[in-house]
Structure formats: structure tokens, C-alpha cells
Structure 1
Amino acid sequence: MTARSRLQSGLDSGAALFGGWVVGPTVLGPEEFATAGYDYVGIDLQHGYLDDADAASMLRRLEHVPIATMVRLPTADPAPIGRVLDAGADAVIIAMVESADEAAAAVAATRYPPAGMRSFGPLRPSLGYVPSDLEERASVFAMVETTRGVSALASICEVPGLSGVYVGPADLAISMGYDPTSAWRRQEVRDVMADIAEAATATGLVAGVHAGTGALGNDAARMGFRVITLASESQALRRGAAAHLAEARAAEPPESHASGGYR
């Protein structure tokens, strides 16, 4: 068994990886993202309607699906981080990291003693039972999404064992005094995002970001981000459903739509 995860293998190519996002219990969303050719799926335990038992079920189901997996958690609490890694997550993304100490705590939650605080208990036999292998395949991303986090960025990027820095544009915009929905339209916010990507890359880390659309994902790749989340399952469903409806209505005879349809 190799200790490298699908996410790590994907990053070896040097190209940007594009991902989908899951915020609610689903057995179809991650598989549909995989079928569509997405590189990874993120499972949201911070803002989503999910707990780590839901995440474990999805991760186990995805064992034989060709897509990498990331799980976002609200804190560096070692217990939930250990559970999702034991269930097979390739990476964890820890929200609202604002200091090197907080980033170090996130890393420690993925490492066994004496280097960290993770308790041994793999739940998926295919992961094996060698602690060093389990540590090696676990990638750790610190979310830098506040001005305080940006101020500490240099020291965060120096934390041993950190795999990458992941930007949350909405919270970053709020901390800078802007509307969260305007993050990608504000040049001031985009400039800070680009600075984060540059700083992470310069220290050998992977820069990640929540884009929200394919067009913004293209922008993010040009800015130097390499792990880029495009849309949640609900966003993808809504966009696809709207496109189907628009096509159907465009094909209707004008009088049928105006009169409410054929009877």
C-alpha cells in the first residue's frame, strides 16, 4: 500500500485541481462530481448540514470512486479531525486560522505522539495500520480568511507539516470591511488573495481557495491557486436545473407558454 493519497497524487502533476463541495447528506453528489471529472470533493462540517458520521459514510462510499476528498472543520479539535482521517479523508481544512500556533495545533491533530495528538484508530482497512503511512497521507490546510490571519501569514506558512493555505473569500472580505458577496469583485480583496497564494507557493505550500463558479475558478488558477473549489452540490443542481428549464421553455411555442401550456 502506498501512503500517498489521491489528493497528493493529483497535486504531483503541478496542475490546478478543481473541486466540488458538499453541504448536505447525499449519496449522489460526490459521485456526480467524480463522473463530471472533478478532481476532489470537499465535505463541509463547518457550514454544512453534516456531522462527522455523515462524513464517514460518504468517505467510505467514495473509497472506490476516483476522486480525492477534503473535509472542512471549524476548529483544530483533535477528536473530529482524527475521526474523518480514520474514515479515509485525504485532507482536512481548518477554518479561521489566525496564528502559527493555531496552524501548529491543526497539524498536531493529524500526527501521532510524540509529534502530535492524534489517537490511533483507522476505520478503513485499505488505509493500512502503519502510523507513519497514515500521517504521511493526511494533508492539512489552514484557512487564512481574516486580516489577522493575513498579518500572521508568514509565520503560518513556516509551520512544519502544514500542506497548504486555503482562502475563504467571503470571510476575508468581511474582515476587510466589505460585503461578502463582493469579494471577487473587489480589487482590494483580490490583491490580498493573490498575496496569500504567492506567499504559500513561495514557501512550498499549496494555495487553495473557494471560487464559487467556473469563471472565478479560472481566475483563481491564473492567480496561482492550485486547489480550487468551484461549486456546491446545491449550486450545481440549481444551475443545471435552470439550464434545462430555460432550454425547455425556449422550445415551447410562444402561445403555449402564455396560455399556461397545452391542456
Structure 2
Amino acid sequence: MRANRVRECWDAGRAAVSAWLSIGNSYSAEIVGWTGVDCVVVDLQHGMTDVQAMIGMLQAISSTPATPFVRVPSLDPPLLMKVLDAGAYGVVCPMVDSAEQAALFVRATTYPPRGLRSFGPTRGLLYGGADYVAHADATLVRLAMIETAAGLAAVEAICATQGVDGIFIGPNDLGLALDAGASADPSDPVVIAAIARCVAAAKAHGKHVGIFCPSGAVAARRSAEGFDFVVPNSDANLLRTAVGAEARLAREGGPIAPTSETPA
């Protein structure tokens, strides 16, 4: 079975850097997979992507050095199983609010007798190899999102759940839940304290902790704070920022230097 680069990062004691895809396109997924990131998350929750587009994106990512992950829209066992069968090597599950929900997340992504994942790994066998079923449970990464007041209240119990590899903080939703407003890099002391509580809970139970960031600089800071799965923004946000910057430069950058070439 192919190695999971995120687990390799963790085994080496360093943070995994992940891309985040909101645009449902296999070509852009392939491009991002070659940028040097450790993994690429296809976002089925808020991204402009459906399951059929996701399959093409996973195929594209599979041709690159990056490891394919998916964020599912909800704690839906049949969809979780389908995402894994399609070749995802990691799953980010949103709005996990209790240890019971965390346990269901683990069971849905684990084969019997410890779990309830149904057999049928289709693309999993193609990407993961003939020994996929024997090693899938230990190779896949399961990240439960903490982004609600209920999830924060239960974060210690969620982190204590056997089979959960770690938690992933959604800072915008967590800020909204705490009546502090949405921010990808919160400055509100209540949200800062909540994030610190999540990190402490993960570390206390030997689990990993990730977070969405607005930039690479913030991601580097988060890594220094103890996060070991960082996302330096999404493809849609980065595209908008890059094109906007180039457009402003085109309008405000001054006269273009003359060229010796003669127009055709």
C-alpha cells in the first residue's frame, strides 16, 4: 500500500502542509499536487465540487507526489465509505460535536470487526494496491473538525476517542459560534483561548491538531505553536488574490518598457 505522506511528516516530527481545493477541476487539482504540498484536500462541504468531480480530482492528485484527502459535507457513513472507496487517504469530518459522533466517524472509516465500513474499495485498490484492505485502517487519517460551541465543550472527549487521529479547527466557524465573528486568523481573546484549549486537548491525548490559515506566514506561525497539519488558504482565495494583484499592477504599475519586437 502507498505510504500516507501526512503520516510520514508526523513520524518525522514535522507539520504536514496541505493544499485546499474549492474549485472542482481535475487539472487545477493536478497542478496543486505538484507544488510541493504534502497532501491535497478536496472540499465537498463548501467547495464547488460534487462526488463525480471529486473522483476526477482524486485521480489527478494520485498522479502527483501529494496524498489525496477529502473533507466530507457531514458525518454521513455511506458518503464517508464512498469517499474512501474512491481513493481518499484521509478524511476531514465537519461539525463533530461529541465523543459519540467521533466514534461513529471512526467506525464508518474502519473495516470490521472494529468498524462498520463496507467492503468495496474500487479505486482504493487501484491507488492503494492489492494489500489495501489489510493496511487501510492504519494508513488512513481521520480528522474531526472542532468548529461549534458543542464541539469545543467536548473537545477533550473527542480527542480521547480511540481511532481519531486528530482534530482540525475551523477558525471562522468557531469564531461565529463564540459570538466573536468570522476570522481565519482570530485576534479575539475568547477564540484564542478556545484554540489553545483544542491544542492542549489534542496534545494531552497524543493526537494531532490542524487548522485552516489565511496565508503561509500564518501557517508557519501555527506550526511553531504546535499545530502539525496546516492549510495555507484555499485555491479559490489564492487565485482571487493573485489575479487581483496582477490586475492592480497592470493598471497602476506604470508605463510598459518599449520592446524591439515588431508586432505581427
TM over 0.5: yes
Amino acid at match of 1:96: M
**Deviation per residue, 1:97-137 (Å, 9 max, x gap):** 11000000000011112211111111222413442312222
Q: Residue in 1 aligned with 2:128?
A: 127
How far apart, CA to CA, are the structure 2 residues paired with 1:231 and 1:29?
A: 15
Decide whether aligned partners of structure 1 residues 76 and 182 sit closer, same or farther in structure 2, where only a CA change above 3 A counts: closer
Q: Residue in 1 aligned with 2:181?
A: 179
Amino acid at match of 2:25: T
Are positions 1:148 and 2:147 aligned together? no
Q: Residue in 2 aligned with 1:99?
A: 98
Are positions 1:28 and 2:5 aligned together? no
SS where residue 141 of structure 1 aligns?
A: strand
Q: Residue in 2 aligned with 1:55?
A: 54
Task: Give the ranges of 4+ consecutive aligned residues of structure 1 lying more than 6 Å apart after TM superposition.
Answer: none
TM-score (norm: length of structure 1) = 0.89
How far apart, CA to CA, are the structure 2 residues paired with 1:78 and 1:146?
A: 21
User: Tell me, which stretches of 5 or more residues in structure 1 are unaligned?
Assistant: 255-263
Q: Residue in 2 aligned with 1:231?
A: 233
User: Matched residue pairs, number?
Assistant: 253
How far apart, CA to CA, are the structure 2 residues paired with 1:190 and 1:218?
A: 17
- Equivalences for residues 1-263 of structure 1 within 5 A: 1-2=1-2, 4-124=3-123, 125-130=126-131, 131-181=133-183, 184-253=186-255
Decide whether aligned partners of structure 1 residues 15 and 88 sit closer, same or farther in structure 2, where only a CA change above 3 A counts: same
CA RMSD of aligned residues (A): 1.9
Could you tell me how far 1:88 is from its partner in structure 2? 1.5
**1:214–1:230 Cα contact (<8 Å) kept:** yes
Decide whether aligned partners of structure 1 residues 19 and 249 sit closer, same or farther in structure 2, where only a CA change above 3 A counts: same
User: Tell me, which stretches of 5 or more residues in structure 2 are unaligned?
Assistant: 257-264
Decide whether aligned partners of structure 1 residues 28 and 253 sit closer, same or farther in structure 2, where only a CA change above 3 A counts: same
